[in-house]
Amino acid sequence: MKKVFIDPGHGGKDTGATAHGLLEKDIVLAVSLSVKKRLEAEYNGVQVLLSRSADVFPTLMERTEAANKAGADILVSVHCNAGGGAGGFESYKYTHTSAATASLQNVLHTEIMTALKPFNVIDRGQKAKNLHMVRESNMPAVLTENLFVDVAADAAKLKREDVVGALIDGHVAGIAKYLGLQKKEAAGEVSDKVNVIVNGKPIQDGKLINGVTYVPLRATAEALGATVGWDNKTKTATITKET
C-alpha cells in the first residue's frame, strides 16, 4: 500500500493569497480533496492522507510531523501563487534534495503542465527553495504553485471548472505515474490494452473492455487538433475544434 500525503496550504485564519474574489485556502482544499477522492477511487493500493480536510489551520510543523509519523511515500503541498507578473504554474523542491525528489518533481510538474496545455498556462519551471514543507519532510516532497490569484488572466482561469479539473487531473496523473499505481477495473469486466493511433499519433492507455475500445478523451481530442472543456457540475465534457 502506497501512502500519499497531500497538504492543502494555509486554511482557517490563514487565507493565503487573496485577490479577484479568490481565496487560496479554498482553491487548494478543493483540489486536494478531489485528488484524494480520485486516487483512492481509480487506483489500486493507495491511501491518501490530508494535513487538513476542512477550513482549519495546522501549523507547518504539525503538517510535516503528521506526514513523517504516517510514513508517507511522498508529500505534495498544494498552493496558489501571488506576486503579479505574467502568472503561470511552477513547482518547488528543497534546495538540497535527493534524486527521488527530483524525479517526483519532474513527473508531477510535467503531468500538470500537460493537463494545463489547452488553457495556455505559462510554465514558470521547476525550481528549488528552502521551504519548510519540502525541507522537513522525510520523504520525496514537492510543492505546487497553481496559478496566480492576483493576475487577472490566471484568476479568470481559476474560476473555471475545466481549469481546476485540469489541475486535479495533472496532480492525479503525476502521483500515479511516479508511484507506478495501477488503475482499478470494474467488477466483471475483461480488459486488454490496445494500441490506438489518431492522426498518426499513438494514444496511450487505450483499453478494450467487453468489446468496446476506450481511449483518454483529452489526448484523443488534442491529436485531432481540438480542445476539451469540462463542466464539473453537470459532468459534461465538450470537444471544440476551431475551423
CATH architecture entry for 2-179: 3-Layer(aba) Sandwich (3.40)
Average pLDDT of the chain to the nearest whole number = 91
Q: Would you place residue 186 in the very low, low, confident or very high pLDDT band (cuts 50, 70, 90)?
A: low
pLDDT in tens, 113-172: 999 999 999 999 999 999 999 999 999 999 999 999 999 999 999 999 999 999 999 999
- pLDDT attached to residue 201: 73
Stretch 54-77: mean pLDDT, rounded? 98
CA distances from 237 to 33, 50, 170 (A): 21, 29, 17
pLDDT at 243: 62
Contact 6, 50 (CB under 8 A): yes
Whether residue 202 is predicted with pLDDT greater than 60 in this model: the reply is yes
Model confidence at 107, pLDDT cuts 50, 70, 90, reads very high
Q: Please give the residue that has the higher pLDDT: either 229 or 155.
A: 155
Q: Which helix (H) or strand (E) holds 49?
A: strand 46-50
| pTM above threshold 0.85 | no
Measured CA to CA, the distance from residue 113 to residue 88 in angstroms comes to 10
Residue 91 near residue 108, CB atoms below 8 Å: yes
- Give me the pLDDT at residue 57, please: 98
Nearest to 78 by CA among 169, 167, 173: 167
Residue 8 phi, psi (nearest 5)? -70, 115
The DSSP annotation for 134-156 comes to: HHS-SS-EEEEEEEETTSHHHHH
Catalytic residue among 145, 161, 189, 242: 145
74-81 and 89-93 beta bridge pairing: unpaired
222 is catalytic: no
Place of cell 481511449: 215
For 118: left if phi > 0, alpha if psi spans -120 to 50, otherwise beta; the answer is alpha
| Contact criterion met (CB below 8 Å) for 114 and 170 | yes
Sorted by where each begins, the domain ranges of the chain are: 2-179, 191-240
- pLDDT, mean of residues 195-205: 76
